Chains A and B, each alone.
Chain A
Amino acid sequence: MVSKDSAGHLIILPQLREVLLTVGVVFGFASLLLIIAGAPPLEAYYHLFLGSLSSWVKFTHVVKVWIPLTLCACGLLFTFRIGLWNIGVEGQVMIGSVFTTWVLRAGGDSPDMGPVFIVLSLAAAALGGALWAAVAGFLKTKGGVNEIFAGLGLNFVAQGIVLWLIFGPWKQPGVASMSGTETFPATLWLNAPALLRIPPVALALVVAALVATGLMLRYTRIGLDLKAVGRNPGAAFLYGLKPSRLMVLAMLFAGGFAGLAGNLQVTAVYHRLIPAISSNYGYLALLVVMLANYNIWLVAPVAFFFACLNVGSIQLPMMLQLDSSLGGVIQGALVLATLGMHGWRRIKQTQAEGHAVPSPGKL
């Protein structure tokens, strides 16, 4: 990203300059907060690093966060492409977990059939997530209900369903508790080799998702159609595309990927259904995609960085008596600063073209 101008001086491309400025502003802000909280900033950053990347075990924890985050982000690329704000992704993860638990409960009594039930649960999870997304999709296209409010509403309904199942029909023998349903036998876990500590199936899934999303959006008719509708629904309609059908299709993809993320939360991480099964990864994935500027190449690294922040900040309460939400603050501030930077660039552009810019002054 560094090149030389005609005189041979090093110049940094404006985009890199913006990125550096954004990062600088955010870490300045975070450092200020740390000073207010009475903690030395550099030490806090060092602990964030130690907590996430200093050992193989910690790295595998990061990867276990990165996987569902990337899966959700892949799905969101489809919905963003057509101009939908699929905030319901959080609920789609939860329903994926619910469908997974439902299938695995049926497989609890037959230990040798474990792999079969795990495969079935993956299919069920994708189906469940897609169904939940389809509800929001149809509410949008048939019912005229904004997808943001439909999605938000469905998130809370999904949370209600999870809680009801944990405390009602699927409660632990004896007493229901917030710790979730009974843990599944190890035959129903997604196995990880002792050294790797990450299920290869999960890794394969996320790589497949990234490749499939990239190929579909770039090289297939569907990808092109989604983009056409997202850019100009009216014109796309005149060209014979069916925006409603494509919107539902995009929602199905997003829900399917989110459902898979929900499956891995059960089969690879918690081995049971817990109230916070989605771990806010759906909401976080929205931030990932925004920070990646809807670019699939950036989704995986940004998701990895976010995962590092999530895992690293778990150390903060123990080491520095800080709240672990510092990671979330940095994530949010990065996205906000990036949005601000985009806006600033746009204003400069508009002014350069000689158009009026909104100003707070009198008319």
Chain B
Amino acid sequence: MTELDVSIIIAGVIAGAAPIVLAVIGETITEKAGLINLSLDGSILLAAMASFVVALKADSLLAGFVAGALVGAAVAAAVAVFSIFLRQNQVAVGFVLTLLTRDLAYFLGNPYSRLQGPQTAPVPIPGLDQIPFLGPVLFNHPLPVYFSVVLIGVCWWYLYRTSPGLKLRAVGENPKAAYARGINPWNVQVFYAVCGGLLVGLSGATFALCTKPGWGRPQGAEGTGWIALALVIFGGWHPLKAAIGAYLFSFLQLMGIYFQGWLPAVPSQVFQVAPFPLMIFTLLIMSLAQNESVRRWAAQHGRAAALLRFLSGMAPASLGRPFRPD
């Protein structure tokens, strides 16, 4: 492979991962606060449809992105309200919304299928884009791609270095203690569900206006929501590790095109499956790492210990269990 090929591949991985990173970070924020928004796969599609149609009709990319974000936030708010205030199982609500929003997207988007719509253009960063190798790899992307990269750092900083981030994590770990300290866990969870939903919506908008421009059935974003949910777990609920997972997946996807040349018998969809066994494996390791004898065994095997450390993320302690004062 020449240097040019490598730079094209890396740039492609970063650009292709943008919507996945947005969804993964959004879901990480929501889950860190203790709420599971299972509806990702549908809400990304609905947001993609809404952003495409609005951008087309208003002839404004900005309006499209705003519409997408609002749709994502609205679906997330529905999950939060149903699970917190109406006391329904959040997995059940999220699952129903997954199917409902997907069908809604196909139904309402039908007249706009396969239309030529606006799409983002690369915005080279003056000066930096001339750097050999790094320029084309990092500094010649559309705006949503820059945003996705910056977001990873911002999310990490917010979660681990700010006071509201500490409150967020406190609610996800122990809402009772947070409640005793004067934090209203319900408000916090609804707020971060909506924040996460905004990002999930932006993920959909990025699909329809940037990564896979256009709308149709299928759009091409199908399945991304489930992959994002898997990657949040793979990343052990840590934004940096989850983002690494997103880039790894994007790399696999891109490589799938190359693999197809070597193994023409295997359809590219098979490569899409890769994150899921990895997710199960990660969950298994995490759970095993809680076991004392497994830890002792690993301590004597250097590699196993390293693997265990890498995958030893813990789910927020009260994830999926809404707070009830009694």
> Which residues of A are interface residues toward B (Cβ below 8 A)?
33, 36-38, 85, 87, 139, 143-146, 148-150, 152-154, 156-157, 159-160, 163-164, 167-168, 171, 176, 283-284, 286-287, 290, 321-323, 325-329, 331-333, 335-336, 339-340, 342-344, 346-347, 356-360, 362-363
Greatest chain A CB density within 10 A among B109, B186, B266, B267 is at B267
The reply to whether A323 and B230 contact each other, CB–CB distance below 8 Å, is no
Q: Cβ of B184 < 8 Å from any Cβ of A?
A: yes
Q: Cβ of B110 < 8 Å from any Cβ of A?
A: yes
Given contacts A33-B107, A323-B107, A346-B86, contact A290 B270 (CB under 8 A): no
Partner of A290 from B96, B104, B186 at Cβ < 8 Å? B96
> Which residues of B are interface residues toward A (Cβ below 8 A)?
38, 82, 84-88, 91-93, 95-97, 99-100, 102-104, 106-111, 182, 184, 186-187, 190, 217, 223, 226, 229-230, 233, 265-267, 269-270, 272-273, 276-277, 279-280, 283-284, 287-288, 290, 324-325
Q: Closest CB of chain A to B246's CB: distance in Å?
A: 17
Q: Cβ of B100: which chain A residues have Cβ within 8 Å of it?
A: 328-329, 332-333, 336
Q: Cβ of B217: which chain A residues have Cβ within 8 Å of it?
A: 323
CA distance A331 to B82 in the complex (A): 18
Q: Closest CB of chain B to A363's CB: distance in Å?
A: 5
The reply to whether B92 and A339 contact each other, CB–CB distance below 8 Å, is yes
CA distance A307 to B277 in the complex (A): 32
Partner of B283 from A145, A163, A323 at Cβ < 8 Å? A145
Q: Cβ of A36: which chain B residues have Cβ within 8 Å of it?
A: 108
The reply to whether B284 and A145 contact each other, CB–CB distance below 8 Å, is yes
CA distance A103 to B253 in the complex (A): 34
Q: Closest CB of chain B to A83's CB: distance in Å?
A: 10
Q: Cβ of A139: which chain B residues have Cβ within 8 Å of it?
A: 280, 283-284
Q: Cβ of B290: which chain A residues have Cβ within 8 Å of it?
A: 144
- Nearest 3 CB-CB pairings of A with B: A343-B86, A332-B100, A144-B287
Partner of A340 from B82, B99, B111, B186 at Cβ < 8 Å? B82
The reply to whether B273 and A160 contact each other, CB–CB distance below 8 Å, is yes
Given contacts A157-B277, A160-B273, A332-B96, contact A150 B86 (CB under 8 A): no
* Interface SS majority for chain A: helix
- List, sorted by A's number, 7 A–B pairs whose CB atoms are closer than 8 Å: A144-B283, A149-B279, A152-B229, A156-B226, A283-B95, A339-B86, A356-B325
CA distance A323 to B49 in the complex (A): 14
CA distance A347 to B325 in the complex (A): 14
The reply to whether A322 and B95 contact each other, CB–CB distance below 8 Å, is no
Greatest chain B CB density within 10 A among A153, A342, A357 is at A153
**CB-CB nearest in chain B for A339:** B88
Partner of A363 from B92, B182, B273 at Cβ < 8 Å? B182
The reply to whether B99 and A332 contact each other, CB–CB distance below 8 Å, is yes
The reply to whether B280 and A153 contact each other, CB–CB distance below 8 Å, is yes
The reply to whether B276 and A156 contact each other, CB–CB distance below 8 Å, is yes
The reply to whether A339 and B96 contact each other, CB–CB distance below 8 Å, is yes
The reply to whether A332 and B91 contact each other, CB–CB distance below 8 Å, is no
CA distance A362 to B188 in the complex (A): 11
Q: Cβ of A37: which chain B residues have Cβ within 8 Å of it?
A: 107-108, 110-111
Given contacts A176-B265, A323-B217, A326-B107, contact A152 B82 (CB under 8 A): no
Q: Cβ of B88: which chain A residues have Cβ within 8 Å of it?
A: 339-340, 342-343
Q: Closest CB of chain A to B90's CB: distance in Å?
A: 11
Given contacts A37-B111, A143-B284, A340-B82, contact A325 B106 (CB under 8 A): yes
The reply to whether B104 and A329 contact each other, CB–CB distance below 8 Å, is yes
The reply to whether B110 and A323 contact each other, CB–CB distance below 8 Å, is yes
